Amino acid sequence: MRRVTATAIALGTFIAGVLLGFGGSREIYRARLTAYEMANIDHVSMYVEVQRFEGTPQTYEAALRDFLLALDERERAGPGLFSTHALPVDRALTYIRLSILASERNDLAAAAKYRSQAEAVCPQLGWRSCSADEMAGVVRRLDEHSLWNPKSKSVPSHGS
């Protein structure tokens, strides 16, 4: 009887250890995956910023499209360790930036399409008031005060 009890305890402990190990490794994997996805978003976001101020309109537009793909990948991954509330804001402002680029090249149909896509995201933003024009104003203010903007006066002074 003692041997059966000891075997049962050992087997139960082994099974519990295996289940905890698999569960723990799964959570670690999910956390790492989320961290990699967020690093990808950050990397592509930096790429967009550099292309905005240093690239051509074509390279900037390609960077914006890449950023939308990265946002789609992050959204498909589902909720992870970080809030996904920023994704709709990033997506809406990216559509507005694409709309501005399309307007600058006089492609009014594409500009209207992008503005419509941006406004379709409005319910997810949680803003008091939301329209393509308001989002365009937000984009202009963000770009004007970007640290990457060579004309920006918001670059911090390291000497004072």
pLDDT at 157 over 60: no
- DSSP designation for 150: T
pLDDT, tens digit (0-9, with 9 covering 90-100), for 59-96: 999 999 999 998 888 788 776 655 667 889 999 999 99
DSSP characters over 16-67 = HHHHHHHHHHHHHHHHHHHHHHHHHHHHHHHHHHHHHHHS-HHHHHHHHHHH
Global confidence as pTM: 0.72
pLDDT at 154 over 70: no
Q: Please report the pLDDT score of residue 83 as a whole number.
A: 63
